[in-house]
């Protein structure tokens, strides 16, 4: 029984793996093959509202899901990210962690990784030293 029937994560659809406090499902709009979400069972609006135990459960599932994704999709790397608040791009107000497998060539220059949330600042710029 879901805590918030209108919440797409409280209905716990399409569970891939789970533990006592969290579960994993694939993203409905994946940015890459194997893009999944790690979600606490309890409805908390964002990551920092999860308990220490829920956060631990989330990261245990991240490790377990990596094994599954590695076997199924054989990615070359991963990005893991959390959108917290609308300003940061959070669209579903139930905490969730994005785990995004990365593949060589999936973008022209991946340097900077999650820094790309602000595209102009993804690439490292030479530090300008003034005296």
Query: Which residues sit at the interface with Zn ion, rule CB under 5 A?
Result: 4, 7, 9-10, 43, 94
Q: How far is the CB of 33 from Zn ion (least distance, A)?
A: 26
What is residue 87's three-state secondary structure?
helix
Query: What is the closest distance, in whole angstroms, from the C-beta atom of residue 129 to Zn ion in the complex?
Result: 48
Cβ count within 10 A of residue 95: 27
Q: Which is nearer to Zn ion, 34 or 40 (CB)?
A: 40
Nearer to Zn ion, 49 or 74 (CB): 49
Q: How far is the CB of 22 from Zn ion (least distance, A)?
A: 12
Nearer to Zn ion, 9 or 23 (CB): 9
Q: How big is the chain, counted in residues?
A: 131
DSSP code for 126:
P
Nearest residue to Zn ion, by Cβ distance, number only: 7
């Amino acid at each position: 029984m879901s805590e918030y029937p209108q919440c797409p994560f409280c209905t716990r659809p399409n569970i891939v793996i789970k533990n006592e406090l969290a579960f994993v499902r694939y993203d409905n709009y994946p940015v890459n093959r194997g893009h999944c979400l790690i979600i606490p069972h309890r409805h908390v609006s964002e990551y920092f509202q999860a308990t220490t135990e829920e956060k631990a459960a989330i990261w245990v599932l991240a490790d377990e899901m990596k094994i599954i994704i590695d076997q199924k999709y054989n990615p070359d790397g991963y990005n893991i990210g959390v959108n917290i608040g609308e300003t940061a791009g959070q669209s579903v107000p139930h905490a969730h962690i994005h785990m995004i497998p990365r593949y060589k060539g999936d973008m022209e220059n991946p340097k900077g990784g999650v820094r790309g949330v602000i595209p102009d600042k993804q690439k490292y710029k030479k530090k300008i030293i003034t005296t």
